[in-house]
Copies of this chain bind each other. A is one copy, B any other.
Amino acid sequence: MINKIVKSAADAVADIFDGAIIMIGGFGNAGTPIELIHALIDQGAKDLTVVSNNTGSGQVGLAALIAHKRVRKMICSFPRTANSTVFPDLYTKGEIELELVPQGTLAERIRAGGAGIPAFYTPTSVNTPLAEGKEKRTFDGLTCVMEYGIKADFSLVKCEAADRYGNLVYNKTARNFGPVMCTAADVTIVQTRKIVELGEIDPECVVTPGIFVKRLVEIPKPADEAKLVAEDRRYPWS
């Protein structure tokens, strides 16, 4: 029988190893799998490479993971946001690496990784510093850079509802990077607001087919990251 539901966030992330490449969903506070990230902080894996659009805010979630020096390198498009101080501080001190990738190229590289496309060409970033050192090629007069697919050991994603096969639906703009990240990791771990019975999700409306999901954990009331940041909370909770 196929049953991808595990009983806790701690169980879900238990086998994440030092040096792993981890994709973390979310754009700003929307779609961030904050409970999975906190479980990862508790679990202790270090020397991680994290692929995520931003670097977290305040002292919770991804920012807390970075603050605890668990992340060796960030691959992201927008590390500097309003409430993001942890990453900028470490980066300025030279204590964390950054691979800056345009947002659309980041999404496409992740999709390519999941789709078995090792590399593709895009016009994005041509004639800018981000194209330096990259292979260029012109197609019908359009100069492009070659970009590589990205694959991860683990993806951490948040969704709205899931069934035991791992079929997922998301809530509004919290969908963002979730669907592509689910496809691109050896082990995709999803926190869902609710688990539903097989057949409750309309087969025409499934966003992530279960084949891309390995583990599910139900977190009925996920924390609102913006609120935690506004309240100046820190993880681990003090």
Contacts and interface: CB of A to CB of B under 8 A. Distances in A.
A203 B169 CA distance: 12
Contacts of A123: 116, 118
Nearest to A119: B121
A207 B120 CA distance: 25
Interface residues of A, number: 24
Interface string A149-191: 0000000000000000000011010000000000000000000
A108 interface: yes
Interface in A121-146: 121-123, 137, 139-140, 142, 144
A202 interface: yes
Nearest to A139: B118
Point out which of A115, A142, A169 has the most chain B C-beta atoms below 10 A from its C-beta.
A115
Contact of A119 (B139, B204, B207): B139
Nearest 8 Cβ contacts at the A-B interface: A118-B139, A120-B120, A205-B205, A119-B121, A117-B120, A118-B121, A118-B144, A117-B122
